Structures are given as structure tokens and as C-alpha cells.
A = this chain, B = another copy of it.
Amino acid sequence: MTDTLRPAPLRPATVPAGQVCFVGAGPGDADLLTLKAARALSEAEVILYDRLVSDEILALANRDAHLVSVGKEGFGPSMTQQDINRLLVLHALSGARVLRLKGGDPAIFGRLDEEIEALEAEGIGWSVVPGITAASASVAAIGQSLTKRGRNASLRILTGHVMEGFADQDWRALARPGEVAAIYMGKKAAHFIQGRLMMHGASADTPVTFVENASRADQRIVASTLGTLAQDLAQADLSGPALTLFGLAPRAARQALPAIRKQEVS
């Protein structure tokens, strides 16, 4: 058989039947979905999605897909992690093509391990499609880098929800000049973070920037400093998911476009 008679290889299913594909939805702008994530959305029969996933992304789902909101917060009934694990297992065992859609990247504050372990316990196959994480989208929005020669030797990724493991020495290290941290879910912990850092010697002038709804049409940037962040936050009254960029200020720039989204037609 010559090559020209051999049928073209089929593209393997991104969301095979009876399995779960964990997909990072990115920060909200549907244009920041990966090609693979977009394909998964079109193949999936059941989609369990987080509260953080934007409507414009859900709009790309297969028209016949069964969409299930599994948000653990916000208005309406809350689901426990155990509920979510059970739903994933049930749908996969029913033979459906199951997509577990998480905001941002599944591997960063996504409670991915718990869900994988629930599937493994039932012998259910799974895969992971990475997504654009909020830190990347947020710095793009303010025209900065997360790392920079001569400024920060490392980048810290933290969550405001679980700060117990962050010890005195960690605060002291973060308080040094030039350090940069991306703090997820940091709004409620802002005052606490401010206190710890200043206690350990960080300058009150250290820039701190809040990026709410990064990449979305309603994105907001609040430029603040370590010394004034509690009142700046209160005044800004951010209601959407916000990433705190400690150590970075928006670039005062002639940036041509909003880094992610342009509102006006060019």
C-alpha cells in the first residue's frame, strides 16, 4: 500500500470516553485558551467547571454538553471537594467524555491532587492540559515581568487562603528589596500580609498592584504600596478574583494596547 492510499491518521481524542481531562481555562479571556483547551471544550460531553471560569469560555463548549457548576464559594449552594470528586467519578464511570474545567492553570492552587486521587482510586484515566495562570496574565496587564535580572533572584507564588506554612523566615526573605511575589486569593489576607512584611522590614514604599479580573473586559488595576494597601483595597472595593503582585507597579508606558484586550476597534 502506498502512502497516498493510507488514510490520514486520526487525531486522538482530547477527551476520551470514560476519562477525565483536567483543563486550565486561563484567566478569563477566551483568546487565552490553548488550542488544546478549545478542542477539549468542543469534544466534552460533561463539563464540571469552577466559579472562576468565565461565561465567554463556557460559551465555547459543545452545544450538547452537560454543564455542571461546581463552585465552592459565592452565591448559591456550595459544593464540597468530596461532592466534586464523586461527580467526576460518576460521570466518568458512565462512559462520558468528562472535562474538569479549572480557572487559570490546574496545577496552581487548583486542588488538582485531590481530584486525581479520587479518579485513581476508581481506576479512571485522566490527563492534564495546562492553562495560563493569573500571575502571567496580570503582569502582562501591567507591562511587567515576573522575573528580572538584578531585581529578583526568584519568584514566589503564594495563596492568601493558606498562610500557616509561611514562616517568619519566609516573610523576612520576601521583605528584602526587589523581591516579587504573586499572591493568589490575597484580598482578605491583605492586611495580614501587610503586617507581616512590614514587621520583617519591608519598605512601606514597596509597590503592590492588584489586578482584578485579569484579561477580562472588566479588568481593573489598582496601583498601591505596602504602606497604603489596606485602605487602597477598601476604597477600590474589588469584587472579582484579584491577583496581588507584591513588588511590582504598573509600567508608566505608551503600551499600545491593553496587554490582553483591546476594547476599541482599530
Residues of A within 8 A of B (CB): 9-10, 12-13, 16, 19, 24, 26, 29-36, 38-39, 105-113, 116, 120, 123, 125-133, 135-137, 139-140, 143-149, 152-159, 162-167, 169-170, 172-173, 178, 251, 253-260, 262, 264-266
What are 29 A-to-B residue pairs whose CB atoms are below 8 Å?
Answer: A12-B257, A12-B264, A12-B265, A13-B266, A16-B256, A16-B257, A32-B34, A32-B35, A32-B129, A33-B35, A107-B136, A107-B144, A107-B145, A108-B136, A108-B146, A110-B147, A123-B254, A125-B255, A126-B255, A127-B257, A128-B259, A147-B157, A147-B159, A153-B164, A153-B165, A153-B166, A153-B170, A155-B157, A165-B178
Tell me, rounded to whole Å, the shortest Cβ–Cβ distance linking A253 to chain B: 6
Which residue, of A39, A113, A154, has the highest number of chain B Cβ atoms within 10 A?
A: A154
Tell me, rounded to whole Å, the shortest Cβ–Cβ distance linking A176 to chain B: 8
List residues of chain B with CB within 8 A of the CB of A170: 153-154, 173
List residues of chain B with CB within 8 A of the CB of A10: 265-266
Q: Are A107 and B147 in contact (CB under 8 A)?
A: yes
Q: Are B173 and A152 in contact (CB under 8 A)?
A: no
Tell me, rounded to whole Å, the shortest Cβ–Cβ distance linking A189 to chain B: 12
Query: Which of B105, B140, B156 is in CB contact (< 8 Å) with A154?
Result: B156
* Beta-carbon nearest neighbor of A110 in chain B: B145
Majority DSSP secondary structure for residues of A touching B: loop
Query: Which of B136, B147, B157 is in CB contact (< 8 Å) with A146?
Result: B157
Known A140-B107, A144-B113; contact A256-B154, beta-carbon cutoff 8 A:
no
How many copies make up the complex? 2
Query: Which of B112, B145, B257 is in CB contact (< 8 Å) with A113?
Result: B145
Query: Which of B35, B110, B136 is in CB contact (< 8 Å) with A35?
Result: B35
Tell me, rounded to whole Å, the shortest Cβ–Cβ distance linking A175 to chain B: 11
Q: Are B36 and A34 in contact (CB under 8 A)?
A: no
Query: Which of B125, B128, B169, B254 is in CB contact (< 8 Å) with A169?
Result: B169
List residues of chain B with CB within 8 A of the CB of A26: 34
Query: Which of B36, B258, B260 is in CB contact (< 8 Å) with A32?
Result: B36
* Beta-carbon nearest neighbor of A263 in chain B: B12
